[in-house]
Amino acid sequence: MNPAPTIGVLALQGDVREHLAALEASGARAVPVRRESELQAVDGIVLPGGESTTIDKLLRTFELFEPLRAAIAAGLPAYGSCAGMILLAERILDGAEGQRTLGGLDITVRRNAFGRQVDSFETDLEVRGVPDSAEHPLHAVFIRAPWVEEVGPGVEVLASVERGPAAGRIVAVRERDVVATSFHPEISGDQRLHRMFVQIVKDRG
């Protein structure tokens, strides 16, 4: 039995290093993924924050779009933050022309949803499945983030914004072994969300 699962971070663009560090600190062996052979060697995959249109284009350039889509569809555990959430959504609003997503989550996301006034902001959140987050909320950093506009019947809402102009907006979801957050736990120094994902990967193995 191998206690440390191997988790890949899609390393085409975005905050790859931060996710690698957060995964290592959470008990995983973390590896960058840029090619199909590397994808085939991981037990789970993280799609980082960055720019979803750029990552979409690079996925095609690196011939990773189809293998990654197929792997997630076949059940590879996946976690996406911000741009990564957009990539995991089945449906996208306010996407760039021709922008495609990998899918995996039966949700509709709205890209750059929070608008100019609350373009980037920080707030504290209780996140279902994150131990202790009622007493010790997760500090969530949002940067030109999407929100989840609609969820399908199999999707569990893990967190919604609790106060301010965006109160009530869904910002964390899970469906089977696929998790997504609008915010960036990889830059807050709080590893509880990464630990939750590492546990999902371990449970599956």
Q: Which residues are catalytic?
A: 82, 184, 186
Site for ligand GLN in 126-165 (CB under 6 A): 143-144
**Which tokens belong to 59?**
């996925």
Q: Which is nearer to ligand GLN, 128 or 144 (CB)?
A: 144
Distance of closest approach, residue 146 Cβ to ligand GLN, in angstroms:
7
Distance of closest approach, residue 145 Cβ to ligand GLN, in angstroms:
6
Site for ligand GLN in 77-106 (CB under 6 A): 82-83, 86
Q: Which is nearer to ligand GLN, 5 or 50 (CB)?
A: 50
How are beta strands 170-175 and 156-160 bridged, if at all? antiparallel
Q: CA 170 to CA 97: how far, in whole Å?
A: 25
Distance of closest approach, residue 189 Cβ to ligand GLN, in angstroms:
17
Q: Which is nearer to ligand GLN, 111 or 202 (CB)?
A: 111
Which of 13, 26, 52, 181 touches ligand GLN (CB under 6 A)?
A: 52
Burial of residue 96, with CB atoms counted within 10 A of its CB: 0-12 exposed, 13-18 middle, 19 or more buried: middle
Contact yes or no for 88/72 (Cβ under 8 A): yes
Q: Which of 123, 96, 121 is nearest to 111 (CA)?
A: 96
Q: Which is nearer to ligand GLN, 51 or 90 (CB)?
A: 51
Q: CA 154 to CA 144: how far, in whole Å?
A: 27
Binding of ligand GLN at residue 8 (CB under 6 A)?
no
> How close are the terminal C-alpha atoms of the chain, in Å?
10
**Which tokens belong to 48?**
């980082």
Which of 5, 8, 44, 50 touches ligand GLN (CB under 6 A)?
A: 50
Distance of closest approach, residue 95 Cβ to ligand GLN, in angstroms:
8
Q: Cβ of 82: how many Cβ atoms within 10 Å?
A: 28
Q: Which is nearer to ligand GLN, 143 or 200 (CB)?
A: 143
Which of 111, 169, 194, 195 touches ligand GLN (CB under 6 A)?
A: 111
Q: CA 33 to CA 67: how far, in whole Å?
A: 12
Cα maximum dimension of the chain: 50
- Binding footprint of ligand GLN, residue count (CB under 6 A): 11
If you count them, how many residues does the chain have? 205
Interacting residue ranges for ligand GLN, rule: CB under 6 A: 49-52, 82-83, 86, 111-112, 143-144
